[in-house]
Amino acid sequence: MLKIGVLVSGGGTNLQAIIDAIENGNITNARIQAVISNNRNAYALERAKKHGISGSCISPKEYASREEFHQALLGKLQEEEIDLIVLAGYLVAIPPVIVDAFQNRIINIHPSLIPSFCGTGYYGLKVHEGVLERGVKVTGATVHFVDAGTDTGPIILQKAVEVLPEDTPETLQRRVMEQAEWILLPRAIQLIANDKIKVENNKVHICG
Ligand code: GRF
């Protein structure tokens, strides 16, 4: 049974998609061991509580240095014996000490088709603002492994979503979530939990 640690900062709709997929059997051989937020007021923590999942806050503000914060987060992940870290709208950069300890065991959902509209500065609504500004007709979402860079790790799954002429960043964000993120993230976890993913030369192969 794969023990998942979900890291969140905000509303937690992607966390909800994982919870629902476990409850309805779309994810097997996995359970959420811990939900960890950097933000005490994240609604994601409420969602965890409602489903009897342990939730906690580890905030950088409560530590004297960034280093101490990173050690506290790493300590919690190790204490909970987490096998897979899922970044589900987590707005804090994952430090090298955690990337090294969890090689190819951290996944992130990004709301664009990587390598477009990703990297430093592209988070939250800024991604969708960039998409509308450039005028691309298709965007989407990507689930990828996390490496030392920003949005540079091996790509696991991608799904395209149409951009409509009347879109605002908010309407586009919602469509990308509904049509891509909430589907892809549980699907990627299901593949990992059932040992269907191999990484070779920085590329993901899906087996079976
Ligand atoms: C999602 O758009 C995700 O792709 C991005 O942050 C947002 C989180 O939303 N990284 P939620 O907290 O899961 O509702």
Ligand 1 center from residue 88 Cα (angstroms): 6
CA distance 36 to 41: 12
pLDDT tens sequence across 56-94: 999 999 999 999 999 999 999 999 999 999 999 999 999
Task: Name beta bridge partners: 139.
Answer: 161
Degrees, nearest 5: CA angle 73-78-79: 95
Atom of ligand 1 nearest to the CA of 8: 12
Minimum CA distance residue for ligand 1 atom 12: 12
Closest of 161, 150, 164 to residue 115, by C-alpha: 150
Our answer to whether residue 51 is catalytic in this structure is no
Structural contact between residues 144 and 155, judged by C-beta atoms closer than 8 angstroms: yes
Structural contact between residues 90 and 58, judged by C-beta atoms closer than 8 angstroms: no
Longest dimension (CA), the chain: 49
Which residues contact ligand 1 via a Cβ below 6 A? 8, 10-14, 44, 88-89, 109-111, 124, 177, 181
CA distance 177 to 140: 9
Tokens at 193, concatenated: 């939990």
Minimum CA distance residue for ligand 1 atom 7: 89
Instruction: Choose, from 110, 128, 144, 205, the residue flagged as catalytic.
Output: 110
DSSP letter at 88 equals S
pLDDT tens sequence across 139-179: 999 999 999 999 999 999 999 999 999 999 999 999 999 99
